[in-house]
Amino acid sequence: MDLTYDLLLSAELTPHRYGAEYAAYEDGARDFFKLLHRLEKIPCFDLGWCFKDIALWAQEEAYIQESKSVSDAAGWADEEGSVSTIDNGTKALGSEKVYYGFDYSWGATGTRLNGQIKRPHPHYGLQLDHLITLVDAVTRWQRPQHLAFGPGGYLVHHHPLDRARLGIRWMGWLPFAIAPAELPEAEIVRPMNGGTLIVTLSRLWQVGERHPDYSAEAIRRAQNVELRLNALGLLPTAPDIMRGDWGQ
């Protein structure tokens, strides 16, 4: 059975601009490529990268030029930019399925990394350890102000706080030292790269009731974790993130 997943990664980074020339966009893209090099070492993310019909790394310069033209067409200012990629497994596997994709943007509205997983890896599936390694790779690349990962539908339909308050969904990383005893509702609480990794439940879950990984219990547990984190004062609002110094 071909399962489609709803898994979104959102990392709010310290606001950053690379400058106002083409070379600055290239610097931003190559900064993103540093992360992609890290990710492709994780078994879940080893299918390669492409943008439209251009394969990174074989056509790296063409990739940058084409992605910049798309960024410009979207109205990004000279000192801003956005670069994105999806897996290159569609060609290798002879299908049109997208398994995962990431995009990185910087500018006046903030600096952030977004990721999306649509399908389990055709060989490795979706393993907790690999997804924790994804969070580790992102937080080693740039120290976020906040990172959340899990079902986007949870944020829409089950987030227990005001929508301006950022939760963590299934798992997240916060720029604070948190002891497991402070967060008994979470299954995993451990130090990671100058902050704390939090996993609400070690089992993957979804919020669509027809999905085989649906779990009302997991949703309640995530809500309880987020309520506790908010009571501890560890969840930022959108204005906190825009200020740029959350957790510093």
Preceding peptide of 57 cis, ω within 30°: yes
- Give 172's strand partners: 148, 198
Beta carbons within 8 Å of 31's beta carbon, 6+ residues apart: 18, 104
User: Identity (one letter) of the amino acid at 151?
Assistant: P
- pLDDT the model gives residue 2: 60
How many whole angstroms separate alpha carbon 200 and alpha carbon 171? 6
Q: Note down pLDDT in tens along the chain; length 248 residues.
A: 568 999 999 999 998 888 766 688 999 999 999 999 999 999 999 999 999 989 999 999 999 999 999 999 999 887 889 999 999 987 666 667 899 999 999 988 899 999 999 999 999 999 999 999 999 999 999 999 999 999 999 999 999 999 889 999 999 999 999 999 999 999 999 999 999 999 999 999 999 999 999 999 999 999 999 999 999 999 999 999 999 999 98
Phi and psi dihedrals of 60, rounded to 5? -60, -45
Q: Model confidence over 54-113: pLDDT tens digits?
A: 999 999 999 999 999 999 999 988 788 999 999 998 766 666 789 999 999 998 889 999
Q: Quick one: pLDDT at residue 189?
A: 98
CA 109 to chain centre: 17
Per DSSP bridges, beta strands 188-192 and 54-56 are unpaired
pTM of the model: 0.95
Report the C-alpha gap between 149 and 53 in whole angstroms.
Answer: 28
Q: Please tell me whether residue 17 adopts helix, strand or coil conformation.
A: coil
Contact status, residue 63 vs residue 51, Cβ threshold 8 Å: yes
Give 110: exposed, middle or buried? Use CB within 10 Å, 0-12, 13-18, 19+: middle
pLDDT at 1: 52
Nearest residue to 226 via CA among 176, 177, 158: 158
What span, in angstroms and rounded, lies between the C-alpha atoms of 35 and 139? 10
**233: CB partners within 8 A, 6+ apart:** none
Give CA–CA dist 174/108, Å, rounded.
23
